[in-house]
Amino acid sequence: MKINEIQFGDAYELIKNIPDKSIDCIYTDVPYLMQSGGKGGGALGNRIHNLIRNDMKNIIEGFDYKLLDELIRVMKKVNIFIWCNKQQILDIANYFKDYSMEILVWAKDNPTPFTNNVWLSDLEYCLYFRGKGIKLNDGYELKSKWFNSPINKSDKDDYGHPTIKPIELVKRHIAHATNENDIVLDPFMGSGTTAVACKELNRSFIGYEINKEYYTIAVDRLNGIKKNGQTSLLDTDFDLL
Q: What is the pLDDT of residue 153?
A: 61
User: For the segment 75-86, what is each residue's pLDDT rounded down to a tens digit?
Assistant: 999 999 999 999
Look up the CATH number of the domain holding residue 185: 3.40.50.150
Q: Does residue 55 surpass a pLDDT of 60?
A: no
From CA 93, how far away is CA 103, in angstroms rounded? 10
Q: Which residue has the higher pLDDT, 114 or 124?
A: 124
Whether residue 65 is contained in a domain is answered as: yes
User: For the segment 130-154, what is each residue's pLDDT rounded down to a tens digit?
Assistant: 999 999 999 999 999 999 998 866 5
Domain that includes residue 47, residue range: 5-222
Q: How far is CA 226 from CA 63, 104, 161, 203, 217, in A?
A: 28, 28, 12, 22, 7
Q: How far is CA 184 from CA 50, 86, 202, in A?
A: 35, 25, 11
What b/e readout covers 161-171, taking b as 16+ CB neighbours within 10 angstroms?
bbbbbbbebbb
Percent of the chain at pLDDT above 90?
64
Whether residue 234 is contained in a domain is answered as: no
Q: Does residue 26 surpass a pLDDT of 50?
A: yes
φ, ψ (nearest 5 deg) of residue 24: -85, -30
Q: What is the pLDDT of residue 105?
A: 97
